[in-house]
Amino acid sequence: MLENGHYNVPPGKVAMVVTDLEMTTPQFRGVPCPDGLTFTTLSRDTTAYLELFRRVGAPWLWFGRTLMDKQELTDILNDEKTGLFTLEKDGQAEALLELDFSVEGQCELDYFGLTPALIGSGAGAFLMDQAIREAFDRGIKRFHLHTCTMDSPQALGFYQRSGFTPIGRRIEIADDPRVAHGYDRDLAPHIPVIDP
């Protein structure tokens, strides 16, 4: 158990507070689909997935899928227990919704986000209604996710307004992808790079 106090994060690393949330009864906001958008399944093509993953997640230093072995990612994307969806605008995917049904009776919201083209349009609330519907339509008892302080400052409040309840919190330390993996050093200016 950690004592109260401050702990140094090694140079070249990032630290985040992760909050775990869950929903056991579906709750919908009833938000209509914004004009010009279409909710649809997402291609399971690994290259197309990673391109969208980067457009959605780069500002927040999402790195989980980009550092994964390509075959491992391909296997996840092609697994029938993985649900992949998007919002299309002018024929282009502008949102990422990835659901994991690998645990019986549960669904984990693995990834959820919008490209800058949709932020502030109401598309997020609409997409979350679709996520909740897709999850509970499979007869699950628990829909859960985690978010962290590296994500958008609005993320935690958004999930709570969507009906998720916080159930736990932890600290995660990881390699800073801008230092260890060649990510653009200008990404995520809210998290300063500290070189080793």
CA atoms within 13 A on the CB side of 128: 22
Residue 2 lies in a domain: no
Q: What value, to the nearest 5°, has the Cα angle with vertex 38 and ends 139 and 49?
A: 75
> How much of the chain exceeds pLDDT 70, in percent?
100
- pLDDT tens digits for 105-155? 999 999 999 999 999 899 999 999 999 999 999 999 999 999 999 998 899
Identify the pLDDT of residue 107: 98
Q: Cβ contacts of residue 132 below 8 Å, gap of 6+?
A: 23, 26, 27, 28, 143, 162, 163
Q: Please report the pLDDT score of residue 97 as a whole number.
A: 98
* Whole-number pLDDT of residue 1: 74
Integer Cα distance of 29 and 135 in angstroms: 15
pLDDT-derived band at 72, boundaries 50, 70, 90: very high
47 within a domain of the structure (yes/no): yes
What's the half-sphere exposure (Cβ side, CA atoms, 13 Å) at 133?
12
| Assigned domain for 1 exists | no
CATH of the domain at 55: 3.40.630.30
Q: How far is CA 6 from the centre of its chain?
A: 28
Between the alpha carbon of residue 3 and those of residues 6, 9, 47, 136, the distances in Å are 9, 16, 44, 40
The domain in which residue 116 lies consists of: 13-180
The verdict on residue 191 lying in a domain is no
Q: Which pLDDT does position 128 carry in this prediction?
A: 98
Task: List CB contacts of 185: < 8 A, sequence separation 6 or more.
Answer: 178, 193
At 119, the amino acid letter reads I
Does the predicted model carry a pTM greater than 0.85? Answer: yes
Instruction: For residue 35, tell me if it sits in a domain.
Output: yes
Q: What is the pLDDT of residues 18-45, one digit of tens each?
A: 999 999 999 999 999 999 999 999 999 9
55 part of a folded domain: yes
Residue 48 lies inside a defined structural domain of this protein: yes
* Amino acid 2: pLDDT: 76
Number of domains in the chain: 1
